[in-house]
Structure 1
Amino acid sequence: MRRILVVGSSGAGKSTLARELARRLDLPLIHLDRHYWRPGWTAPAEADFRAEVTALAARPAWVMDGNYASTLDLRLPRADLLILCDPPRLRCLARVLRRRWAGRATPRPDLPPGCPEQLDLQFLRYLWSYPRRSRPRVLTAAATIAPDLPVVRLRTPADTRRFLATLPTPPP
């Protein structure tokens, strides 16, 4: 495994898992949020972001964390593994609330400078609707674009622990 794509709802544990995978497998870590957002939560032009994702996906090795369905066609064909972090939405909501409270004074390492953690109604709607709207899009895209791509679906912390137990342990 040299290119691992990690997707899932907000609060699903994507960034945490991606960091651990990159550490254990000694792979470069790419948080797509850091490449997408500009200071003040400004979105880039779609063509610019697609060009950047094309270049990122062309790298020989990576763990890439982020949804961005509009770029799945660029990333899925290059991936060796797709991991769908898919806990129940109440767990995702609780994690987002805890993360927001814990990080109120410290910026998240997976967000770019000038983009402090936000919690608004639009974000909460996205989180809540992820299982119904976004998850099927991801799975359909994977089946269509990269039908032979292995998919690992992690619903519980125990699923994640079992999956990580199959990977090499990094040197101390």
Structure 2
Amino acid sequence: MKKVAVFGNTGGGKSTLSKRLSQITGLPLHVLDKIQYQSGGREVPHEDYKRAHQQILGTDRWIIDGFGCMETLWLRLNEADSLVFVDLPLYVHFWWVTKRLITGGFSPPEGWPQKSPILKSSLTSYRVLWLCHKHLTPKYREYIEQAQSIKSVYHIRSTQQISQFFELIENETNFKEGQQN
């Protein structure tokens, strides 16, 4: 596990998962929302975002969290050696977007640029939920089905599997560290 793409529908806890995965593995974390958006929620020029994304892909170790855009999504998934697809039931994504909206006024959501417009971003997330579920999630499922033979694929379908995923990664990391000593 050297190049990890974490992806899935909005509100699935990808940023929290990615941060913890980075802490466990020591891999550098790159949050696409923080690369694509400036403080306050203004989008950076598209070419600047694509250039930054390509620079990350050119390194030998990374975790990339998020969607970005269709153009960079498939490049990233193809370049990754490990795929973490957060594919929770739609109601969980909906609830976690709602929870983020409620708590976002007290502390910024994990993985969001500073001073992001919580209400506007949350309303966008609600619109994206169904569209992603209907159009992109089936493509993600098809992609990981095909990629399983050449990549490490972690298809997280329940909140319980998030904990199991971390246990697995911690055990693998501890095993590798033990072999090196």
The normalised TM-score by structure 1 is: 0.85
Give 1:24-39 correspondences, 5 Å limit: 24-39=24-39
Report deviation, 1:143: 6.9
Q: Does 1:55 align with 2:55?
A: yes
Unaligned runs of 5+ in 2: 175-181
Structure richer in helix, relative to its length: 2
2:51 and 2:145 map into 1 onto residues whose CA distance is 24
Listed as ranges, the matches of 1:36-115 within 5 Å are 36-68=36-68, 69-115=70-116
Displacement of 1:18 in angstroms is: 0.4
Give the whole-Å Cα distance in 2 for the aligned partners of 1:10 and 1:111: 12
1:133 alignment counterpart: 135
- Between Structure 1 and Structure 2, how many residues are aligned? 171
Q: Report the AA paired with residue 22 of structure 2.
A: A
Distance change (3 Å), C-alpha of 1:46 and 1:147 = farther
Q: TM-score, normalised by structure 2?
A: 0.81
Deviations, residues 47-92 of structure 1 (Å, cap 9, x unaligned): 2211110001212211110012320233123211111101111111
SS at match of 1:87: coil
8 Å Cα contact 2:53/2:72 also seen in 1: yes
Q: Given that residues 53 and 74 in structure 1 are in contact (C-alpha distance below 8 angstroms), is that contact kept between their aligned partners in structure 2?
A: no
Among 148, 151, 156, the alignment partner of 2:150 is 148
Looking at structure 1, the residues matched to 100 and 82 of structure 2 have their Cα atoms a distance apart, in angstroms, of 27
Partner Cα distance (1:162, 1:95) in 2: 20
Offset, 1:153: 1.1
Gaps of 5+ in 1: none
Matches of 1:142 and 1:163, distance apart in 2: 16
SS of equivalent residue, structure 1 residue 167: helix
Give aligned-pair identity as a percent.
26
Take 2:77 and 2:132, find their aligned partners in 1: how far apart are those partners?
Answer: 19
In structure 2, what is the Cα distance between the partners aligned to 1:164 and 1:40? 32
